[in-house]
Amino acid sequence: MEEISYAEVDKALKKFRPFLVRDGGDYELVEVTPDGIVKIKLLGACETCPSSDMTLKMGIELTLAEKIIGFKEVVQVF
């Protein structure tokens, strides 16, 4: 299996970023592991939002799953 690159993930996520910024939030792409795990730190309003799990799974994770072969899951880091 081919490793996914940080640049590839970053490019895919930039299309999702405006939705977070519109609501006063943002993210930091912390790490992309060789086994397809993407580690993200939520920032701003997203840090304390009760819907942050939904944002990660239904927003960011679905975006990456549609665009990147080899992607497995997104994990929030603090």
**Domain CATH code at residue 8:** 3.30.300.130
The residue segments making up the domain with residue 19 are 4-74
Q: Please tell me the total count of domains within the chain.
A: 1
pLDDT in tens, 19-76: 999 999 999 999 999 999 999 999 999 999 999 999 898 889 999 999 999 999 999 9
Q: Put residue 76 in one of left, alpha, beta given phi > 0 → left and psi -120 to 50 → alpha.
A: beta
Q: Show the CA angle centred on residue 37, arms to residues 66 and 63, nearest 5°.
A: 20
pTM of the model: 0.90
What type of residue is 3? E
